[in-house]
Amino acid sequence: MLKAENLTKIYRSGEEEVLVFADLNFEIRAGELVALVGESGAGKTTLLHLLAALDTPTRGEVYFDGQKVSGFGEEERAAYRNRRVGYVWQMHYLLPEFSALENVMMPQVMGGSDFAAARTRAAEILGEVGLGGLARRRVGELSGGEQQRVALARALANRPTLLLADEPTGNLDHRTAIRVMELLGKLHQAHALTSVLATHNLELAKRAHRTLRLSDGKLTED
């Protein structure tokens, strides 16, 4: 499903260049759950952004189902991010003044769904993550673990085939992190996802089919 060829990212600040990683080559097959590990600052978030077409590589290419992501026009790029990719941010970026239901409806409405269909789907997926009874509660009133479940529901609202998650348990206590890890595994199977999870949590990494390690600008498989 995903393929990277000679993927390189360099940030420029004035005349200074900072190499994040260079010439990464890897493939992720449909249905795999892959953990991406590495020290803080190794470039895990940057790599996820490239896979999600939230950023562009300095050199190299990302392929999704055999299509060059860089070849997407503006509308195709937006549709790819909205429909094909579900993204869970490290800081979930939920809107605290809106309800859980409204937060999960939002990407659907932005993607063209009508309000009634978006509301039905949001209620359905919130029930699946165990928040059916809290759907109308404001996100700002929910616990950290509950907010992360809303973020997962939002990521899956448009039925993506690819789930990218950036430190999905990073801000949670141990017990809550285990529950979210278990939920991620169930959702991966139930929705026939291909998932890439960037994490420092070795327990979460052990649940993956494969582990890729990003270190010193290179990618290796553990």
Instruction: Please report whether residue 126 resides in a domain.
Output: yes
Structural contact between residues 83 and 34, judged by C-beta atoms closer than 8 angstroms: no
Estimate to the nearest angstrom the gap between the alpha carbon of 207 and the chain centroid. 17
Is 116 a member of any domain? yes
* Per-residue pLDDT at 14: 83
- The verdict on residue 2 lying in a domain is no
Question: Does 51 map to a domain?
Answer: yes
**145's torsion region: left (phi>0), alpha (psi -120 to 50) or beta?**
alpha
Tens-digit pLDDT string for the chain (222 aa): 999 999 999 998 888 999 999 999 999 999 999 999 999 889 999 999 999 999 999 999 999 999 999 889 989 999 999 999 999 998 889 999 999 999 999 999 998 999 999 999 999 999 999 999 999 999 999 999 999 999 999 999 999 999 999 999 888 889 999 999 999 999 999 999 999 999 988 888 999 999 999 999 999 998
Q: Is 21 a member of any domain?
A: no
Domain that holds residue 111: 29-57+84-221
CB-based contacts of 77, cutoff 8 Å, min separation 6: 53, 69
What is the side-by-side order of every strand in the sheet holding 2-13? Answer: 16-28, 2-13, 59-64, 67-68
Token duo for residue 139: 């996100």
- Give the pLDDT of residue 15: 85
Looking at the domain assignment, is residue 65 inside a domain?
Answer: no
Question: What is the number of structural domains in the chain?
Answer: 1
Distance CA 143, CA 131 (A): 12
Establish if 23 belongs to a structural domain. Answer: no
Q: Residue 194's domain is classified under what CATH number?
A: 3.40.50.300
Query: 173, 143 in Cβ contact below 8 A?
Result: no
In Å, how far are 15, 22, 24, 38, 196 from 188, measured between CA atoms? 43, 30, 25, 22, 10
